[in-house]
Structure 1
Amino acid sequence: MSIAVNDAIDREQERLAALARYEILDTPRETDFDDIARLASDICGTPIAVVNLIADRRQFFKAEVGLGVRETPFESSFCAKAILDEDLLIVPDATKDARFDGNPLVTGEPHLRFYAGALLKTDEGLPIGTVCVLDFEPRQLSELQQRALRVLARQVMTQLELRRALRAQAYQTEVQRRLGIRRQAQATRLVAENEQIRLDEARLRIAQHAGGIGIFEVDIASGEVEVSEEFCRIFGLPAQRSYPAATLEALVEKDDEALRSDKQTRRTGTARLDVEYRIRRPDDGELRWVARRARFVMDPNGQPTKMVGVVIDISDSKQRDIRNAALLSLGDRLREVGTIEEALRIASAVLAQGLAVDRAGYSRIDRQADAFVVELDWNAPNVISLAGGKPLGGFAEILEKLANGQTLALPDVAQADWLGGHGADYLEHNVRSLLKVPVVERGQLVGVLFAHDSTARIWTRDEMEFARGVADRTYASLGKIGAEDEQRVLNQELSHRLKNTLAIVQAIATQTLKNVSERDAVEAFSARLQALSAAHEILLNQSWSRARMRAVIEKVLAIHAEPNRIAITGPDVPLGPKAGLSLSLIFHELGTNAVKYGALSNQDGRVDVSWTVTDEGGDRVLNLTWHERGGPSVVEPTRKGFGSRLIRMGIAGTGDVDKRYEPTGLVAVFRAPMSLIQELGD
């Protein structure tokens, strides 16, 4: 065996011994290391970051972001190659690197492309692992990101050294003395590294502004916060090097104060590190959403000395989420309204709140009256309503813009010279910017959903899409309400004609059968006509679509008995027209028989009507029971008339009926599939 091979083996044994001394392998996850992995991912902008330790033919992840596992096969490890490099290994595109182009993690799932790893080295220079970042796309790291990765690697080693030192301190005083010296040296190194990070802020400014990321560092003892220029811009403050922490805390909205850090929570290390809250910027008074991500820097005794992190303005994405939720809620709310006024009131409020404007509403174009009529508007406090009509002539320029169906967005009315004198009218009513979404029917402009604000503003694409979404849902609701109004008028006319027809049938039957001696049959026929009429009336009130089971049963049985003698229980099932008519005739026959022979023929009897809907093999089935109690004893009749045959046919002709003549009274159980019960028919 050559000398070189022996040296390599000896070196590997030293490296493994050094790693073992830290007693870190196979330990649980810890926040300190998780924070470093997260910070590496945030700084380098990669989906994956790992604090990785290379043992004997295995690799162990002390912390990871984006992987979800604590180990991966050693043979496919990038980091195993990294420990052969001096300091930092960067693989911009693994498919073009001979060392990795055959790696199964590159050629197969998860198709890794980019790798950068900074070595974890002991004081003796022995590599024991890496702080690495990975991506699924080829990329490069800036000089600043490379430097940050090295700093984080040194932070990991500092943590490992501190932990080893603290473990040794518990065993002997002499070791404690030496560790004290080492901790002091390491603390000095930490201070130097933090100072270097602070000096690098100037180089970060361009990147911060491009990404909208502000950087801060709180000195916990003094309460001073060093901030970047982008931090100042986000918070609406004059650009300067530092601010007292209290100045920044005062900008947080009152309702969100519990989320901010303060002197006490920073000193104890209990401040929330990853939070989102609202601030009121002092320069323009605007309310903004800010996401803050921070970490504590500890001294050798484990006490927090600094709080460092970043802030990001997330107002746009937050507002987008709020608007999406508002649109979903608007659709649900509009489905329940029954009047145009109610629909417009809801839509106006949602539009105004979603856009944070002073006024929103709906205007109708009345061509006959030559008027532009504001039907209804929502107004912020101390903002006057514009409800009412104005001549169309004064809006000629705006109507021309809206006639083609395009949304009109004016960022500044004062700069829109084409408005002419009408621009002055807007300004007089404190309207500086406006947004209008037209509704066009058959090529004709018939209405406008509008939003007004007292300040000049650039309407974003998201805001315009939101306004169009509100308009689409509102116009659909208005169309539905209009159609329902027309349907009600039609139903009223149909109801009138049907009642006349049934009255004629009744009169013809009475006249034709007046000489019939069997008056029971005549009366039964007349009663059945009444039951049919009652069912038709219920269906007409439900627009010939869905009557409700309870309403049909109560309407029919009201003819036969007082409500206190009939108990009705069951879910309020909607019925199709066929089932509704069928049930009305069946319950008329049951009620008639109960009055003549059963529970309703005396003073004590009563009838229980109940139903349930069950799931039987994936099909929903209605189970309806008629149960008479307290009447005279009943027996099955020997003669079967039309009524009996009608009952045996079941609901909507299903024939699924079980009739039992029990000593306590008649029991009839009907079953029918819900698909048939709720069938609307042709």
Structure 2
Amino acid sequence: MSEWVAQDPAADDPYRIGFDEAAVGLVVLSADETVIVAANRALHDLIGWAPGTLPGRAIAELLAEAPGGLQASLQFWRRADGSSLDVRVRRAGRTLVVESVDVDTAAHSEANSEALAAAGLGEWRWDRATGLLTLSRRAARILGRPPGRSVSWDELKTGLSETELARLGAIIAEAGAAGTPYQFDTPTTVAGRTVILRVRGQVVAGPDGAPASMVGVIQDITTRVEARDEILSRDQRLRVATTIAKLGIFEWHMLEDQAIWENEHMYEIFGHAPEDGTIGKAEFLNDILHPEDRPAVRKAISRALREDGILQIGGRIRRKSDGAWRTIDMAGRFERDAPGRLPRRLIGVVADVTDRRLAEERQSLLIRELHHRVKNTLATVQAIVGSTARTASSIESFYEAFVGRIKSLAHTHSVLTEDTWQMASLENLLLNELKPYAEVTADGGAEGRISLSGPAIDLPSEIAVPIGMAIHELTTNAAKYGALSNRTGRVAVDWTLEPGGPAGILRFSWRETGGPPVAPPSRQGFGSRLLQRVLIAQVQAEVTTDYAPGGFTLTMRAPIPPRNDSLNPLV
């Protein structure tokens, strides 16, 4: 046809008529492809030139792109008014076929096809008449099928469960009724393995308005879903771990001085309700943090910023909910957009360590208390050994007296240990020593040789040991020489708590009756020294003894030290 046009055939030539009346634009180029030899009416109309004005013009006048645009492709041509027009050019020799295209067609270029492939998107089309899917090469690779019109929907859906088919059918039907695109993710079996597909589609209606076909894209998102699930799993594990550890997680955005609290423990630690919101750096340093701790915290923040290191700070904060001071530890790291730039945010964790610090202080105090008790106990044992040796008349008498005193000492310490080195019941100390000798009645009944009367009093450890030793010595002396050395003697012990001092004053009375006649001792033994010296030195007691012939009597008034709650882990 190009040769025919070049010879300028007669106007009534049917081929020329066909050329001029063609519905698409036609252009015939010169041998060197630089000049327009002939152009039909459709081309003049398409690009806005008056009929018959294009032949003889350089083709470059029409091209808005480089001359390479003469190749078959989508390209820009220049209209007579200077505007650009999207056209599709097909070529046969020196003859060009030029058609206008809409914007969607213009956008669907070869480069777009490459971009779709790079994004992992494969195109597909389903025709209702044939029931077959036409797959692009990428879509075919995703589904493990040959490209082209190669697979029916009935065959493809075998990889889906009945429940999933029903769900997808409902999605497509709803979108078709509304005339909107649809999207869904679905697992299916491809080549024996399960993959997750993301399908986007659009129902295309036929001339009668009924769905005639569907078109869309498909993407394998298995790796993405697995990565997402792994991130969610890690996030869940992190949240469980921080929940168990009672750690608060936060982000602090520096430029805005705003904080994001990631979990409920942050609100618990600072005593905030969700409606109270979070706190920024300025409020934390100026209002929440204890004034004594602010300089150290500011210095730690500056050092972490300067050295690009981990921020580790501790301090006391005032909890909003109850105004209580709590001790916290905080650790975090500054994040930068690029090396050398100012940090953008701080990500970190906060722990309320108040109870742990108190436990550590209590443990330290207990260790010091233990050292003190051990030292005193060893001194007491040393005194027992020396005094028992000086007063014993034989090895047997030494052994008997020494073992009895050590047992009494051990029992007192056992009582204290059972109460976490805190308190020992005065009544229990008396019962331990006196029960082996006679039945004890709390109300002083006639059938008992021993009566105990007094309120429940717990003795702190610093006075329980010497008072326990004194009770042992009083019991031993009564059993050897006093009221418990015969069958008629009686021992009455009563005590009261009088006001005075930080925890009251113990008034203790030991009275013996019915025993052998009593006379003052000719020499001072260990028991006497214990009663007169240890009680006075260690207990600050006032001790009065009376060796009346009718029976020995001892009265003691001793201040009770205040209870040291820091030694009790239950407090």
TM-score by length of 1: 0.29
More helix by share: 1
TM-score by length of 2: 0.33
**Greater Rg by CA:** 2
